[in-house]
């Protein structure tokens, strides 16, 4: 939307109208963009958030659920939007008409925009046959059931297998460590736990120092580590791996592989993800940005989604006329690893897909020290969580949910 002209008494004054900013999505990236725009360009933008879900779901705590240590927390998107001078509209993005500056929703409605941000996440799929893929409510219940049966009629040899192509494997390491702690608390004996991964070192994306710390943590808990192996199929008695052989297993637990949204009207890479440049602009598009798991960044992680979102917020604020400099996306990976004892804070700057300046500590390496670190959303969710404690606390590791959310 350009300037428009008001013809007054003697003067002709030019009044800048607000830019209509449409944000598709309601997860980490979308919410961080909303908060960023409210901070950077408060009167210059009219922001609408479009998503099919009424809530923002804080997913990292899903790993605590099967162990009865916490649960995924939901926050009302309407309130989040209203708290940041934006509106929430129910709807699912179906396609984009970039030349018309319009999107079409799944129910056929058409919305026009001046600036568009896509933050609709990725779609999880089972990565290989025969395993329990961790993610949905039903899969979390299945894992709870498996844990309840441990050491009785249930499985005694559990293998946690990182699938090929999944670079953010931290939740699976948490599941392995939390299972070891759970079994120890219950006094389950004759159990064996193993972790199989294509990585050349445990959580190698965090760099050498952090990875060595994670290796000794796993070893101290009696979790066998097999690196450089690609899971192919879970069969009765074992996990078939590539390049050859199998690892004994009664049950195999894995993470989903993520598939891109492939949005009609916008470009996509071979796996359906939106290709973005260093300013998170969708390649070859005018006025279209993207952030988070729906983009082609190699590590699909909440903290990185928030960092991309910050770049998008700056870029849109600048396009709307705010006096801000647009930073480049320079990923810093921060991971809070739940262990069943003291959590570990991992941090690395990522260059060429690998972690540099690698750190691991039992003390927070960032503040607020949440599972998802975000410039604006961290503090906001920590405050909300402190105001409305959920029904179940995080009993074993941290009894202040705000700390995990923040």
Ligand X SMILES: Cc1cc2nc3c(=O)[nH]c(=O)nc-3n(C[C@H](O)[C@H](O)[C@H](O)COP(=O)(O)OP(=O)(O)OC[C@H]3O[C@@H](n4cnc5c(N)ncnc54)[C@H](O)[C@@H]3O)c2cc1C
Q: What three-state secondary structure class fits 51?
A: strand
Q: What three-state secondary structure class fits 53?
A: coil
What sign results for the dihedral spanned by CA atoms 354, 260, 128, 145? positive
Choose between 53 and 151: whose C-beta lies nearer to ligand X: 53
Strand order in the sheet with 45-51: 86-90, 45-51, 19-24, 115-118, 288-290
Residue with tokens 């179906």: 94
Q: What three-state secondary structure class fits 165?
A: coil
Does residue 111 touch ligand X according to CB under 6 A?
A: no
Choose between 27 and 202: whose C-beta lies nearer to ligand X: 27
Choose between 240 and 314: whose C-beta lies nearer to ligand X: 314
Among 21, 22, 30, 274, binds ligand X (CB under 6 A): 30
Does residue 271 touch ligand X according to CB under 6 A?
A: no
Among 101, 281, 300, 344, binds ligand X (CB under 6 A): 300
Does residue 258 touch ligand X according to CB under 6 A?
A: no
Does residue 60 touch ligand X according to CB under 6 A?
A: yes
- Listed ranges 81-89, 215-223, 293-301, 346-354: which one lies at the site for ligand X (CB under 6 A): 293-301
Per the structure block, which two tokens stand in for 310?
């910050």
Does residue 378 touch ligand X according to CB under 6 A?
A: no
Closest approach of Cβ 299 to ligand X, in Å?
9
- Of 335-364, binders to ligand X (CB under 6 A) are 335-336
Q: Phi-psi bin for 101: left (phi > 0), alpha (psi -120 to 50), beta? A: left
Among 199, 293, 310, 397, binds ligand X (CB under 6 A): 293
Closest approach of Cβ 198 to ligand X, in Å?
19
Per the structure block, which two tokens stand in for 286?
């005018």
Asked if 224 and 158 count as a contact pair (C-beta separation under 8 A), the reply is: no
Cα gap 110→342, rounded to integer Å: 50
Choose between 120 and 196: whose C-beta lies nearer to ligand X: 120
62 phi and psi angles, rounded to 5 deg: -55, -35
CA-nearest of 285, 279, 275 to 307 is 279
19 phi and psi angles, rounded to 5 deg: -80, 135
Closest approach of Cβ 3 to ligand X, in Å?
31
H or E segment at 143? helix 137-148
Closest approach of Cβ 338 to ligand X, in Å?
8
Closest approach of Cβ 77 to ligand X, in Å?
8
- Strands 288-290 and 257-259 come out as unpaired
Does residue 24 touch ligand X according to CB under 6 A?
A: yes
Closest approach of Cβ 4 to ligand X, in Å?
30
Choose between 17 and 97: whose C-beta lies nearer to ligand X: 97
Among 40, 44, 63, 276, binds ligand X (CB under 6 A): 63
Does residue 29 touch ligand X according to CB under 6 A?
A: yes
Site map for ligand X, 113-152, x if CB under 6 A? Answer: ------xxx-------------x-----------------
Among 18, 53, 154, 331, binds ligand X (CB under 6 A): 53
Asked if 248 and 235 count as a contact pair (C-beta separation under 8 A), the reply is: no
Choose between 62 and 195: whose C-beta lies nearer to ligand X: 62
Among 241, 371, 377, 384, binds ligand X (CB under 6 A): 371
| Cβ neighbours around 125 below 10 Å, total | 11
DSSP codes, 288-322: EEE-STTB--SS--HHHHHHHHHHHHHHHHHHTT-
Cα gap 295→249, rounded to integer Å: 35
Q: Which residues bind ligand X (CB under 6 A)?
A: 24-30, 50-53, 59-60, 62-63, 92-93, 119-121, 135, 170-171, 292-294, 300-303, 305, 335-336, 371-372
């Amino acid at each position: 939307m350009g300037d428009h002209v008001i013809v007054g008494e003697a003067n002709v004054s030019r009044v800048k109208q607000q830019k209509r900013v449409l944000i598709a999505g309601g997860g980490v990236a979308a919410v961080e963009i909303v908060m960023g725009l409210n901070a950077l360009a408060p009167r210059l933008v009219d922001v609408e958030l479009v998503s099919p879900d009424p809530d923002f779901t804080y997913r990292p705590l899903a790993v605590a659920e099967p162990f009865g240590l916490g649960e995924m927390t939901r926050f009302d998107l309407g309130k989040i939007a209203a708290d940041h001078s934006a509106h929430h509209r129910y709807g699912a993005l179906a396609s984009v008409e970039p030349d018309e500056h319009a999107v079409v929703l799944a129910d056929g409605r058409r919305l026009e925009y001046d600036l568009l941000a896509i933050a609709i996440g990725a779609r999880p799929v089972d990565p290989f046959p025969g395993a329990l893929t961790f993610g949905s409510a039903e899969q979390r219940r299945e894992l709870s059931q498996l844990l309840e049966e441990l050491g009785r009629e249930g499985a005694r040899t559990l293998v946690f297998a990182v699938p090929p192509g999944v670079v953010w494997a931290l939740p699976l390491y948490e599941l392995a460590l939390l299972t070891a702690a759970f079994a120890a608390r219950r006094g389950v004996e004759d159990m064996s736990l193993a972790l199989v991964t294509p990585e050349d070192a445990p959580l190698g994306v965090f760099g050498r120092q952090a990875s060595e710390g994670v290796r000794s943590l796993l070893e101290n808990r009696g979790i066998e580590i097999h690196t450089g192996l690609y899971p192919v199929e879970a069969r009765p008695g074992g996990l078939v791996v590539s390049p050859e052989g199998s690892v004994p297993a009664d049950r195999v637990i894995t993470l989903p592989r993520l598939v891109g949204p492939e949005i009609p009207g916008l470009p996509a890479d071979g796996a359906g993800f939106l290709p973005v440049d260093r300013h998170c602009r969708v390649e070859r598009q005018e006025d279209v940005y993207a952030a988070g798991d729906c983009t082609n960044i190699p590590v699909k992680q909440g903290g990185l989604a928030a960092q991309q979102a910050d770049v998008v917020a700056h870029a849109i604020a600048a396009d709307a006329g705010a006096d801000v400099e647009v930073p480049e996306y320079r990923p810093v990976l921060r991971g809070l690893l739940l262990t069943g004892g003291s959590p570990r804070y991992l941090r690395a700057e990522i260059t060429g897909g690998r972690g540099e300046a690698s750190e691991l500590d039992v003390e927070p390496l960032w503040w607020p020290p949440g599972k998802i670190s975000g410039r604006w959303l961290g503090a906001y969710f920590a405050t909300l969580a402190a105001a409305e404690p959920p029904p179940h606390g995080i009993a074993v590791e941290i009894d202040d949910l705000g700390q995990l959310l923040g």
